[in-house]
Amino acid sequence: MGSTGQHGSEGVGRRELIKRSAAIGLVAAPGMGLLSACASSGGDGQDKAKAGKKTAKNPLGVNDTAKLDFVLFDGGFGKEYAEDAVKLYEKDFPKAQVKFSATQKIQSTLQPRFNQGNPPDLIDNSGAEQMDMGVLVGKKQLADLTPLLDAPSYDDPSKKVRDTLRPGIVEMGQFDGDPVWILNYAYTVYGVWYSQKALDGLDEKYPETWDDMLKVCAKAKKKGIAGWTYAGKYPYYLPFSLYPMIAKVGGREVLDAIDNLEPNAWKHPAVKACFEAYYELFQKGYILRGTPGLDHIQSQTAWAKGKALFIPNGSWVENESANVIPADFDLAVSAPTGIDSSDKMPFGTIWASGGEPFVVPAKAANPEGGMEQLRVMLSEASSRNFTSKVKSLSALNGGIDGIELTPGLKSGVAALDKAGDNVVNPRIPDWYVQLEKEKIGVGGLGEMMAGRLTPAETVKKIQGFADEAAKDTSIKHYKHK
């Protein structure tokens, strides 16, 4: 949701922001009361389209005369990419009538339709008015997308759709075990963003160990440049580099324990080591003065103007800050710096995951059509079209051949290549939005980075927040299987 939901059309990929708490944007998530209402069953439902005949060209058995009703969130990615994909669907099913609409008001537009039992066949459930996924899943309002994932891919019938997707896409659609309720279409790379030109100016390479990070920051400080800045008012941006660093230092299982709200998960030595490392940036004066008072746009602007070397962010930053990033900036992203060679995972371990969540409602009249439209969107042609139009990778592991990649996108692709299998995907941001955003982010990390809490106090405070969430019976709890 991010820049999309929040800033109209400036940014890309931030939709995660709201959707996942990690990146959650500035917009508060809608009230749970409304969301529950929106997801309540009710209504008489609508007549299901008769399924069509399954063939090699129509593996999901779409009824070729059935209407398709597709509602898209109209945000930073715009609607052109989806309109183009609809044309491909219409070409494959010339007798089908497609009703395509785009809105920023997903919840208020669709809530009455869910209540009446006549939701659309495909929804891009994103933006400030996103419907709460946990509620939709809990109330059995969504169709299981396993038939889509097990269908032959659009370009290569010998491969299933699931085998063509980027790491973490399938898992992110799961809440409790096997069913896959959501297909995230965009793919965001999180990490430490910087200007290669600025690093070259210091005659330095991106630091792989913390000692080297401190050395680079010291060198920058001598030239009047801060080492780091971040969205001080929204410190839930800090985990974009901090969570994968914790995994690098202590192994993926440390993040899994944190996601599972296990007792003492935050007291793991890897968490302590990483908190102490970040706190050192504050202690040594390597953070841009005034950062705790800056929002995401102000911190990104200061960084783009060369006042700070590094900023933790997601790949939407390239589009969102396009008007302030100089032409010769040479934008780059790196996986987080580790502590040293004793880290459990190699340098290159990075957080990357899906955003832009598409769902097919359980009561859709034409669920096969909704899934087929997604299958079309996961083709090379649709994916390439999306990437070239909005400067974001799609969920398809490919779809970039022949495209002139922008500097940030090119660097993101290189970072993913370097990571290989060492891609992590923390779930606490989308399983427990408020815990991540308000408690861990604002109440914990924000206070520590402003120097108001020590690392030890921060660990204790965040562990307390996690324990409260674990005991809170009013929220649904999820666990890694």
Q: How confident is the model over 295-331, as pLDDT tens digits?
A: 999 999 999 999 999 999 998 888 888 899 999 999 9
Query: Given a cut of 80, is residue 382 above it in pLDDT?
Result: yes
Task: Indicate if 190-351+427-471 has the same CATH topology as 2-188+353-409.
Answer: yes
Q: For residues 412 and 32, give the distance between their C-alpha atoms in angstroms, rounded to a whole number.
A: 35
Q: In the prediction, which pLDDT does 213 show?
A: 98
* Span between the terminal Cα atoms of the chain, in Å: 27
pLDDT in the model for residue 433: 76
Does residue 466 have a pLDDT over 50?
Answer: yes
Higher pLDDT, 434 or 395: 395
**416-433 average pLDDT score:** 90
Residues with Cβ within 8 Å of residue 405, at least 6 apart in sequence: 413
Quick check: 39 pLDDT over 70? Answer: no
User: How far from the centroid of its chain's Cα atoms is residue 240's Cα?
Assistant: 10
Q: Is the confidence at residue 293, as pLDDT, over 60?
A: yes
pLDDT band per the 50, 70, 90 thresholds, residue 44: low
pTM comes to: 0.79
Question: What's the CATH fold of domain 190-351+427-471?
Answer: D-Maltodextrin-Binding Protein; domain 2 (3.40.190)
* Distance from C-alpha of 314 to C-alpha of 317, rounded to nearest angstrom: 6
Residue 90 — very low, low, confident or very high, per pLDDT cuts 50/70/90?
very high
Contacts of 73 (CB under 8 A, 6+ apart): 4, 5, 15, 102, 103, 104, 106, 124, 125, 126, 127, 130, 356
Average of pLDDT values for 273-299? 97
Q: What is the DSSP string of 263-300?
A: TTGGGSHHHHHHHHHHHHHHHTT-BPTTGGG--HHHHH
pLDDT at 280 over 90: yes
Distance, CA of 217 to CA of 176 (rounded, Å): 43
Whether the per-residue pLDDT at 237 is higher than 80: the answer is: yes
Ordered DSSP codes for 226-249: EEE---TT-GGGTHHHHHHHHHHH
Q: Looking at the predicted structure, is the pLDDT value of residue 97 above 80?
A: yes
Q: What is the pLDDT of residues 104-122, one digit of tens each?
A: 899 999 989 998 999 999 9
When pLDDT is cut at 50, 70 and 90, the band that residue 5 belongs to is very low
pLDDT of residue 77: 81
- Under CATH, which number does the domain 2-188+353-409 receive? 3.40.190.10
Least confident of 56-65, 94-103, 382-391, 461-470: 382-391
pLDDT, one tens digit per residue, over 127-157 is: 767 887 877 887 899 999 999 999 999 999 9
Q: Would you say residue 425 has pLDDT above 80? A: yes
| pLDDT above 60: residue 177 | yes
- Between 125-139, 176-190, 336-350, the lowest mean confidence (pLDDT) is in 125-139
- Give the pLDDT of residue 15: 36
Q: Domain ranges in the chain?
A: 2-188+353-409, 190-351+427-471
**pLDDT the model gives residue 1:** 35
pLDDT bucket at 30, cuts 50 / 70 / 90:
very low
Question: Cα–Cα distances in Å, from 309 out to 209, 246, 260?
Answer: 16, 22, 34
Least confident of 3-7, 71-75, 267-271, 384-388: 3-7
Query: Given this model, what pLDDT does residue 13 score?
Result: 37
Q: Residue 25 pLDDT > 80, yes or no?
A: no
Query: pLDDT-derived band of residue 26, with 50, 70 and 90 as boundaries?
Result: very low
CA–CA gap between residue 268 and residue 287 (Å, rounded): 26
DSSP character string of 179-216 = ----EEEEEEEEEEEEEHHHHHHTT-PPPSSHHHHHHH
Given CA atoms 205, 209, 213, 216 in this order, what sign does their dihedral have?
negative
Confidence of residue 45 (pLDDT cuts 50, 70, 90): low
Per the model's pLDDT, the better-predicted residue between 480 and 189 turns out to be 189
pLDDT value at 3 more than 70:
no
**Would you say residue 17 has pLDDT above 50?**
no
